[in-house]
Structure 1
Amino acid sequence: MAGPVLPYGRQTIEDDDIAAVVEALRADFLTTGPTVEAFETAFAETVGARHAVACANGTAALHLAMLALDVQPGEVVIAPSITFLATANCARYVGAEVVFADVDPLSGLMTPQTLAEALARVSGRKLRAVLPVHLRGDAADLPGLAALANDAGAVLVEDAPHALGTTMTYGNVAERVGDARHSAMATFSFHPVKTIATGEGGMVTTNDAALADRLRTMRSHGMIRPEGADPWWYEMPEPGFNYRLPDILCALGLSQLAKLPRFAARRRALAKAYDAALAPLAPMVRIAARPAWSDPVLHLMCVLIDFQAAGLSRRQVVERLREYGVGTQVHYIPVHRQPYYRERYGELELPGAEGWYAHCLSLPLYPGMADGDVQKVADALKAVLGV
């Protein structure tokens, strides 16, 4: 049974990507050069935003967003519990407190209902931002979430690393994740398992020129160059960070971004194949629920498995799938369970997050998969679960 193991995600790097990096290595600027701006411009055009600011990684993008909003110690940021650690941690980096929102147990997404419940736990403190996560690649209900946030005096910052290329239709209006129509900013990651890869890298998109300027200042030590000053002169009104993305990686990003339509089409085709291949395994295996408004480019193929009905633990399923050459991952352990947050905020009852975590498993999904790989995964699941 054993052979090469299909990972849950993997970059697709081709000869022209390598050539783009080699060309950048031979150029005058390895960092802080013209390729950075070229990548930012192309990315903004791709997602339909006015501005895009490149940075070191997706976590830096979230941190920069908090800095750009000038979130202060003691203020509150709401984040869903089903997400990667960075969504909550970015608030703590600036001294803000986190209120964890529950999620829909079938989709893993924050909803207006779970946000409303989280808002009730803000308890009179100043709420600055709400951070919906476009989990797996499916878009959250941005109009519904934005309306609640606005009524509470806060703004949305979309945590969108999973959703590059995703489109959605709210009402009759077609939109793109990253266009920031409903949010102050949207953040992205270019980690190797994401839709496009730069090794490490991130981006923040916004339609607010002042926010874009502040993002650029804070990603480079907080330095500014006053108009009319000597050419070597710089000033630092407040400390920033070294969150720059080098030209070398931006060259790779530009090459990858040009392939986004092909990558998106392949991910959609694989997702459709999974729909058919996994249908016979229902109800023991169900694909994560998809909102009606969302047409995702999935980063993750998440399924919900009734481990109890199968008489197996998740660990047993993971280990046996690996024997069949199928790698998996879990997205995510609820962040409110982490020791740091449990110590800070105590035990929380978030049944949707617990329900999602109890059943979720991420199956292989990446453009380099062969046509037969989806059926290989489905057959392995069938054998392991005894469906």
Structure 2
Amino acid sequence: MIPYGRQWIDDADIQAVVDTLRSDWLTQGPAVGKLEAALADLCHAPHAVAANSATSALHIACLAIDVGPGDVVWTVPNTFVASANCARLCGADVDFVDIDPTTYNISVPALEHKLRKAAMIAGRLPKAVIPVHFSGRAPDQEAIWTLAKDYGFRVIEDASHSVGATHQGEPVGSCRSSDIAVFSFHPVKIVTTAEGGLATTRDAALADRMARLRTHGITKDQQLMSNKDEGGWYYEQIELGLNYRLTDMQAALGLSQLRRLYEFLRRRRELVARYERLLADVPVTRPLIDVLEESAWHLYVIRIDPKRTGKTRRQVYDSMRAAGIGVQVHYIPVHLQPYYRALGFKPGDCPEAERYYEEALSLPLYPAMSNAEQDQVVDALKTSLRCA
């Protein structure tokens, strides 16, 4: 089976983990700080806070800006459920903004319309908006940031797909147009720590609080503690936190993976450009590639229009899976998940995202993929559409 995505681990990655296993540190130690420094440097951001997953990083990001009961957080339905769940875990409500039909990112006009409507009818404006970088392409962060200033909400970028991506010449994660940005190091993402995530920010207070929240809400900072002279062993829990720490073993793997970040990105972009050539005459809708060299290209998603192809997405999916091609669907609209339907969301709430979902199919894309394997994917797609 050719998977839709997979990690690429080399001998240096393995050795980095082995060296850590032989060191004095297995859990959070010096490698975590080195990984944070490396990502801060990559993103041109002054602060980075690693966590054991991007979901955890999103959760502590919401906690750090005081999202809680009585608040509402807006995100998009075209994402993994964590983009919404992080707010629910804080006790907040969630609402959804529809997507742009070409980029599949948050629709800025839809966001602006929803904000204007909420302000006019004295509805609840969001405490925060979480725009998602679908497939590694940045949304229009500048426009979102302008709206944030006008309507008074915070911005947390879910940049899980976007390690190494840029936007208008600026690294994603610089947080020049957001409060916090969150990355994922899951094995199918751009670089991996097995499981893991990281948040960047320009705000030292937010960084300090996220670092404290990932470690049970504990501090040894004398300025924050109630008792000053207990001794060098002393710490205090000053708020309710969690154990969301990344291990040094994972951080060592991530640091080693970063050696090849630009190799990974270059190969992903080569494969995207090659898909564009190979699929030029195939009756599917290909993704917008106007920012080929900016997107991290975590995913390559085509759309299957039954009226155009005479085939449903399900038929193409089943045919390709039977041929050994591990196609996938990204994503089932979050607002249509049973948990969110029970909260009152329903079909028709986000028509663009729902239309997209009915047609979307992710083709395999990962740096270790060979041209021959990509040819096999394309041949299977053509066969499934009966246009070979």
Aligned counterparts, 1:2-41, within 5 A: 5-41=1-37
Q: Which amino acid letter does the alignment assign opposite residue 115 of structure 2?
A: L
Query: Which whole-Å CA distance do the structure 1 matches of 2:221 and 2:143 have between them?
Result: 41
Query: Which whole-Å CA distance do the structure 2 matches of 1:108 and 1:212 have between them?
Result: 30
SS of residue in 2 equivalent to 1:372: helix
Q: Which amino acid letter does the alignment assign opposite residue 49 of structure 2?
A: V
Match of 1:212 among 200, 207, 210: 207
Residue of structure 2 equivalent to 1:346? 345
SS of residue in 2 equivalent to 1:286: coil
Query: Which whole-Å CA distance do the structure 2 matches of 1:213 and 1:290 have between them?
Result: 38
- Provide, for residues 116-144 of structure 1, a one-character-per-residue CA deviation record: whole Å limited to 9, x for no partner: 23325645224211111000111111111
SS of residue in 2 equivalent to 1:127: coil
Residue of structure 2 equivalent to 1:240? 241
Query: Which whole-Å CA distance do the structure 1 matches of 2:68 and 2:160 have between them?
Result: 25
SS of residue in 1 equivalent to 2:176: coil
> 2:324 aligned with 1:328, yes or no?
no
- Provide, for residues 46-86 of structure 1, a one-character-per-residue CA deviation record: whole Å limited to 9, x for no partner: 12111110001010010010011011211111100110000
Distance 1:309 1:295, change over 3 A: same
> 2:202 aligned with 1:201, yes or no?
no
Query: Which whole-Å CA distance do the structure 2 matches of 1:215 and 1:30 have between them?
Result: 21
Q: Which amino acid letter does the alignment assign opposite residue 83 of structure 1?
A: T
Query: Which whole-Å CA distance do the structure 2 matches of 1:130 and 1:161 have between them?
Result: 15
Displacement after TM superposition at 1:373 (Å): 2.2
State TM-score, norm by structure 1. Answer: 0.94
Give 5+ residue unaligned stretches, structure 2: 223-227
- Provide, for residues 163-200 of structure 1, a one-character-per-residue CA deviation record: whole Å limited to 9, x for no partner: 1111121xxxx111111110000001111100001110
> 2:147 aligned with 1:151, yes or no?
no
- Whether the 8 Å CA contact 1:277–1:374 is kept in 2: the answer is no
Residue of structure 1 equivalent to 2:358? 358
Residue of structure 2 equivalent to 1:257? 258
Give 5+ residue unaligned stretches, structure 1: none
Query: Which whole-Å CA distance do the structure 2 matches of 1:79 and 1:293 have between them?
Result: 25
State TM-score, norm by structure 2. Answer: 0.94
Q: Which amino acid letter does the alignment assign opposite residue 14 of structure 2?
A: I
Query: Which whole-Å CA distance do the structure 1 matches of 2:291 and 2:2 have between them?
Result: 30
- Whether the 8 Å CA contact 1:43–1:257 is kept in 2: the answer is no
Displacement after TM superposition at 1:313 (Å): 2.5
Query: Which whole-Å CA distance do the structure 2 matches of 1:240 and 1:308 have between them?
Result: 52
> 2:77 aligned with 1:78, yes or no?
no
SS of residue in 1 equivalent to 2:279: helix
Residue of structure 2 equivalent to 1:305? 304
Query: Which whole-Å CA distance do the structure 2 matches of 1:75 and 1:81 have between them?
Result: 19
The aligned length equals: 377
Query: Which whole-Å CA distance do the structure 2 matches of 1:46 and 1:136 have between them?
Result: 19
Query: Which whole-Å CA distance do the structure 1 matches of 2:177 and 2:218 have between them?
Result: 30
- Whether the 8 Å CA contact 1:138–1:290 is kept in 2: the answer is no
Identity of matched residues, %: 47
- Whether the 8 Å CA contact 1:112–1:148 is kept in 2: the answer is no
Aligned counterparts, 1:44-63, within 5 A: 44-63=40-59
Q: Which amino acid letter does the alignment assign opposite residue 179 of structure 1?
A: S
**RMSD (CA atoms):** 1.5
SS of residue in 1 equivalent to 2:66: coil
SS of residue in 2 equivalent to 1:285: coil
Residue of structure 1 equivalent to 2:225? none
Query: Which whole-Å CA distance do the structure 2 matches of 1:294 and 1:151 have between them?
Result: 32
Displacement after TM superposition at 1:361 (Å): 0.5
